[in-house]
Amino acid sequence: MAHHALPRWWGHTAGAAGPARARLEANVARGERQDVREAQARLGRAVRPSGGTADGVVSGVVLLLPDGEPESARGPSTVSHAAALPLARSLARAGRGDGLVAHVVRYRGRGWNGTDARLAADASWAADEAVRRYGDVPVCLAGRGMGGRAALHAAGHDAVNSVLAIAPWLPEDDVAAQPEPVKQLAGRQVLIVHGTKDARTDPELSYRLAERAKKSNRDTCRFEVHSDGHALRQYQDEVHSLASDFVLGSLFSRAYARPVADALAAPPPLGLRMPLAAGFGRALRH
Q: What is the pLDDT of residues 157-200, one digit of tens each?
A: 999 999 999 999 999 877 677 899 999 999 999 999 999 999 99
Quote the CA–CA distance of 285 and 267 in Å, as a whole number.
Answer: 22
The pLDDT value recorded for residue 175 is 65
Q: Would residue 120 count as lying in a domain? A: yes
Q: Are residues 77 and 17 in the same domain?
A: no
C-alpha 51: how far from chain center: 24
Confidence of residue 283 (pLDDT cuts 50, 70, 90): low
Q: Would residue 282 count as lying in a domain? A: no
Q: Would residue 283 count as lying in a domain? A: no
Q: Would residue 285 count as lying in a domain? A: no
Q: Residue 61: phi, psi to the nearest 5?
A: -130, 135
The pLDDT value recorded for residue 13 is 41
Its pTM stands at 0.84
Q: Are residues 101 and 165 in the same domain?
A: yes
Contact 73, 37 (CB under 8 A): no
Q: Would residue 284 count as lying in a domain? A: no
Q: Give the mean model confidence (pLDDT) for residues 205-224.
A: 98
Q: Give the mean model confidence (pLDDT) for residues 73-78.
A: 90
Q: Are residues 2 and 53 in the same domain?
A: no
Q: Are residues 101 and 158 in the same domain?
A: yes
Q: Are residues 256 and 136 in the same domain?
A: yes
Residue 28 domain boundaries: 1-39
Number of domains in the chain: 2
